[in-house]
Amino acid sequence: MPTLAPRTHSVDDAAMKSVLSSFCTGVAVITAVAEDGHPAGMAVQSFSSVSLDPPLICFCPAHTSSTWPRIRAAGHFAVNILAAEQEPLSRQFAVTGGDKFHGVRWRPGTHGAPLLDGALATVECDLEDVLDGGDHAIALGRVTALAAHGTDSDPLVYFRRTYGRVPFSSSSMSASMPSTRSRSER
């Protein structure tokens, strides 16, 4: 394993947050059924595909999260990729404490992890590994089931510290996407 280079200068936390907020991300809610039998969930924007072989994804919960230890202990979780209309749901799962599932409609996935109604897609995983990532953990999940839910909704995105939407529903995509055929094929 390569050794990290020694830190030669400091980076201002506020500047880092400001600059990195220029990277637009999707929004997801990670869910599990905790050891006490109650559902647990947290909103994240740090979700990504990692590998196709084996099928792995990752997300990065803060070490200060009170929900992450409950999800970690469950050993199985679901990633619920949110639609633009689900901003209130994201806000509900972004708070600390309280009953995050109050009024939330969901069904259990293959290992019981809550699959949220209205999500654009769901990815069910076994927790594969947890790596150190500074003030966050890097949680690797091995995909065990996944589904796109055929909704025509736009995705919920987060950019420059605010929620938004990108008009990528199938009807708007077909109207705005240029043809990929070459001139000779037309």
Higher pLDDT, 14 or 176: 14
Q: What confidence score (pLDDT) does residue 155 get?
A: 86
Q: What is the mean pLDDT of the chain?
A: 84
DSSP 62: B
What percent of the chain has a predicted confidence (pLDDT) above 70? 78
Q: Examine the pLDDT at 185 and tell me if it is beyond 80.
A: no
Q: Two tokens at 44?
A: 């994240």
Which backbone phi and psi does 123 adopt, to 5 degrees? -130, 115
pTM score? 0.81
DSSP 82: P
Q: Two tokens at 73?
A: 């202990």
In tens, the pLDDT along 162-184 reads: 777 777 645 444 433 333 333 33
